[in-house]
Amino acid sequence: MFDTYFEVFLADTLKSKRIHYSIRYEVYCEEMGFENKDDFPLRQEFDQYDRHASHFIVRHKQSGLWIGAMRLIFKNGHPLPIELLCELNDPIYESNTGLSVELSRLCLIKEARKIFNDILPPYGITAQNNVSNESNKHQLAKNNRDIIWGLIYAALKYSYHHGISNWYFLTTPGLEKVLRKGGLDMTVIGDPCEHKGMRYPFKMNVLATYQSEIWQDHYKNGYRAFSECNINELDCKLSSKNKTCTINNYKLLELVPMPEQINLTIPFKRLFI
């Protein structure tokens, strides 16, 4: 089960947000090259939307390795990124009956796929360099999907308990197929737009998705708030080609400013899955 090997946290402290931003830096700046490293000298990728977003991180229990992240952006009286990038069929409104958020920065680190070759499938991550046939390639895709599912379910549970009624997001045709095949009910809300490749805008109802049967067997834990955990319990590492650090080593970063303390002038670029 996902819950046996992994756990998701709401990144609600300075330390946990640094972990979240560092994962994004590793994926979007170093691995994929979607963001310019020079824009992020702190080695933490963030933007103006992080000021009004909820952040999640996922951890491999056995190794303590942080392997993925995602966030939910709140409107807070301003357009969501999806509204600036795409022509939508209908405007996105806030209402008394529920909030609207945008899911973005959903990512898994590449290095994780090279390390976890000791976890029994289908609920771990198979080493990519061991993928030698089509069956194993299919298993690798399923394993990575399970981790994405765990992040999504955690954010759904959070949304359900915080008055969020609708999710909006941009995604590629490939990930759309994965999400639909997994049982997610998504509605196209506009024409595709070009932004680092072709992206399609979608809307998803939180209540209907949260109550779906697809979560019943393997995703029961949801998430824990990082602030409620014992730091010694989280003897965790951030995997990066640049540095490996335990939670205690974050004391070295106490003086590093967070996005809330910085005058954000970073160009508006990649703000989607």
User: In the prediction, which pLDDT does 217 show?
Assistant: 80
Q: Are strands 198-205 and 193-194 parallel, antiparallel or unpaired?
A: antiparallel
User: In the prediction, which pLDDT does 254 show?
Assistant: 36
User: In the prediction, which pLDDT does 1 show?
Assistant: 76
CA dist., res. 190 & res. 180, Å (int): 17
Q: Where do we find the tokens 């190794």?
A: 63
The 8 Å CB, 24+ separation contacts for 253-259 are 253/18, 256/18, 256/42, 256/44, 257/42, 258/14, 258/17, 258/18, 259/21, 259/46, 259/47, 259/50, 259/51
Spans in the chain with pLDDT lower than 50: 115-132, 138-139, 240-273
pTM of the model: 0.80
DSSP 216-261: TTT-----EEGGGS-GGG---EE--SS---BGGGGGGGTTSPPGGG
User: In the prediction, which pLDDT does 133 show?
Assistant: 53
User: What values do phi and psi take at 89, rounded to 5?
Assistant: -65, -35
Domains and CATH numbers, the chain: 2-261 (3.40.630.30)
Beta-carbon count within 10 A of 174 CB? 9
CA dist., res. 68 & res. 56, Å (int): 8
